[in-house]
Amino acid sequence: MDAGEMRCDANPSSPTAPDPSCVVRAPIGLLAELTHRCPLQCPYCSNPLELEKVNVELSTEDWQKVMREAAQLGILQVHLSGGEPTARRDLEEIVKTAAEAGLYTNLITAAVLLKRERLEKLKECGLDHVQISIQDVDTQAENADRIAGYKGGSAKKKEVAGWVRELGMPLTINAPIHRHNIHSVEAIINYAVELGAGRVEIAHVQYYAWALKNRSSLMPTRDAFMAAARLVERKREELKGIIVIDAVVPDYYAKYPKPCMGGWGKGIINITPSGRVLPCHAAESITHLEFDNVRDKPLADIWLNGDAFQKYRGTSWMKEPCRTCPRREIDYGGCRCQAFALTGDAANTDPACSLSPLHEEWAKVADVESHQSPPAFVYRRPGGATPKPAAEKTPV
Ligand code: SF4
Ligand code: FES
């Protein structure tokens, strides 16, 4: 085995017989969804449609235990996310424990709840990095606030971004891109530079959970996507050495799928507010999977031996055409959640792949929906997945 690799039987709490095929690397990152509470209502939210309630959330001590176990397992970075992680009053304690355990801490925030004193305190506790999501640029604040369903959000985000830089902390701007802001991609990149960000993510929406519910409203046309992709390439050249521009491509316009999560059970662990440990944020949508909870088992045991992680780890579970495809260890057959949602079997090839028999039919959906008049958003809110039409806000 190479350095950093472990066997599934490496954990003393799980004395299974040695399995020579079961060699696993330590995960690199932990996405800690501290809460599903959030003041924003973005219609592309990656949280599940059934949001977890505050009374099932892990306690401070539970999260502190998770941080220590994560560091012992070899995890390097923890992304403190949600929902809105600053809705947790104990965020400082969780950050402090994570930093003391040696983890690099990244706060993924909508920023609208933050006060300057709290940000200072978080920095003192060891917070390393802040990522702020935006919906559009400040000169399009009305559009940004409409998308987020939160008045005044755009201005507040700008203010918080200023504090982050004044405190000398590295800043990333994350901009989920869709039909209602794709015209602003160049302005968003320039805005991130103006805010002093070292990185900007032009993250085309991935259509799971709330975004799938709102797909017909959010899907940009292929032409708009292609123009945005060319623009990103031009800006990368223009801004080399000034800002890093990451781009996430929408599956519907790709020839091959993305290696979702970098491969199932390969590098990332996701923990929900109630402590369920998932191989990806949407894994609960695969209805036959069972998930362990950090309240019941050590994180290392779950990572190495948990059923949900083992199920689609590696390539042995694959069917044709993935099984014999030369790209199988490049993209790992794409996204398991998307394969399940669209074919009913998570072991099928992701229809985002042009080699999937369902690809053409599926890609047509984007073309049709992106040319229709966009329906009203189904805003992300508890119970919002089945809205009463009369109560919905009108998006355009
Ligand atoms: Fe990837 Fe499977 Fe498509 Fe090959 S057939 S490119 S492995 S998704
Ligand atoms: Fe779950 Fe892609 S979102 S594997």
3-state secondary structure of 59: coil
Q: What is the pLDDT of residue 25?
A: 87
Q: How large is the average pLDDT for residues 227-246?
A: 97
- What's the CA gap between 83 and 378, in Å, rounded? 17
Tokens, residue 63: 């999260």
Q: Is 260 in the pocket of ligand 2 (CB under 6 A)?
A: yes
pLDDT tops 70 at residue 365: yes
Mean residue pLDDT across the chain: 91
Q: What is the pLDDT of residue 45?
A: 93
**What DSSP character marks residue 380?**
-
Task: Provide the annotated binding site for [4Fe-4S] cluster.
Answer: 38, 42, 45
Q: How large is the average pLDDT for residues 279-289?
A: 94
Q: How large is the average pLDDT for residues 138-165?
A: 97
pLDDT tops 70 at residue 14: no
Helix axes 153-166, 185-195, angle to 10 degrees: 40
Answer whether 333's CB lies under 8 Å from 346's CB.
Answer: no
Answer whether 204's CB lies under 8 Å from 252's CB.
Answer: no
CA 346 to ligand 2 centroid distance, Å: 10
Mutation choice for ligand 1 from 355, 359, 360, CB with most ligand atoms inside 8 A? 355
Q: How large is the average pLDDT for residues 189-203?
A: 98
Q: Is 283 in the pocket of ligand 2 (CB under 6 A)?
A: yes
Q: Is 257 in the pocket of ligand 1 (CB under 6 A)?
A: yes
Own/partner pairs for 276-281, CB < 8 Å, 24+ apart?
277/302, 277/303, 277/306, 277/308, 278/308, 279/308, 279/309, 279/312, 280/336, 280/337, 281/31, 281/33, 281/46, 281/47
Q: The dihedral of CA 11, 331, 320, 291: what is its sign?
A: positive
Nearest atom in ligand 1 to the alpha carbon of residue 326 is: 4
pLDDT tops 50 at residue 394: no
Tokens, residue 113: 């709840």
Ligand approaching nearest to the C-alpha of 285: 2
Q: What is the pLDDT of residue 215?
A: 94
Answer whether 10's CB lies under 8 Å from 56's CB.
Answer: no
Q: What is the pLDDT of residue 3?
A: 55
- What's the CA gap between 258 and 250, in Å, rounded? 9
Tokens, residue 326: 């030369």
* Alpha carbons within 13 A on the beta-carbon side of 144: 21
Counting residues of the chain whose pLDDT is more than 90, the rounded percentage is 84
CA 360 to ligand 1 centroid distance, Å: 15
pLDDT digits (tens, 9 = 90+) for 128-147: 999 999 999 999 999 999 99
3-state secondary structure of 147: helix
pLDDT tops 50 at residue 391: no
Instruction: Report the range of poorest mean pLDDT among 76-90, 151-165, 199-213.
Output: 199-213
- What's the CA gap between 205 and 247, in Å, rounded? 11
Amino acid at the residue 388: K
Task: Provide the annotated binding site.
Answer: 38, 42, 45
Q: How many other β-carbons are positioned within 10 Å of the β-carbon of residue 222?
A: 16
CA 284 to ligand 1 centroid distance, Å: 23
Q: What is the pLDDT of residue 19?
A: 44
pLDDT tops 60 at residue 247: yes
Mutation choice for ligand 2 from 261, 269, 276, 340, CB with most ligand atoms inside 8 A? 261
3-state secondary structure of 129: strand
* Alpha carbons within 13 A on the beta-carbon side of 221: 8
pLDDT tops 90 at residue 372: yes
Mutation choice for ligand 2 from 280, 312, 349, CB with most ligand atoms inside 8 A? 280
CA 278 to chain centre: 12
Instruction: Report the range of poorest mean pLDDT among 183-192, 334-343, 364-373, 380-389.
Output: 380-389
Q: How large is the average pLDDT for residues 164-171?
A: 98
Band of pLDDT at residue 1, cut at 50, 70 and 90: low
Ligand approaching nearest to the C-alpha of 321: 1
Answer whether 41's CB lies under 8 Å from 150's CB.
Answer: yes
Mutation choice for ligand 1 from 256, 260, 360, CB with most ligand atoms inside 8 A? 256
Band of pLDDT at residue 392, cut at 50, 70 and 90: very low
Q: What is the pLDDT of residue 7?
A: 61
Instruction: Please list, residue by residue across 55-78, b when 16 or more beta carbons sit within 10 angstroms of its beta carbon and e when fewer do.
Output: eebbeeebbbbbbbbbbebebebb
CA 356 to ligand 1 centroid distance, Å: 8
88 vs 253, more confident:
88
Q: What is the pLDDT of residue 385?
A: 65
Q: What is the pLDDT of residue 205?
A: 94
CA 45 to ligand 1 centroid distance, Å: 27
Ligand approaching nearest to the C-alpha of 330: 1
pLDDT tops 60 at residue 11: no
Q: What is the pLDDT of residue 249?
A: 83
Nearest atom in ligand 1 to the alpha carbon of residue 318 is: 2
Band of pLDDT at residue 22, cut at 50, 70 and 90: low
Q: What is the pLDDT of residue 5?
A: 67
pLDDT digits (tens, 9 = 90+) for 101-130: 999 999 999 999 999 999 999 999 999 999
Q: What is the pLDDT of residue 4?
A: 62
pLDDT digits (tens, 9 = 90+) for 306-360: 999 999 999 999 999 999 999 999 999 999 999 998 899 999 999 999 999 999 9
Instruction: Please list, residue by residue across 100-124, b when 16 or more beta carbons sit within 10 angstroms of its beta carbon and e when fewer do.
Output: ebebbbbbbbbbbbbeeeebeebbe
- Omega of the bond prior to 357 within 30 degrees of 0, cis? no
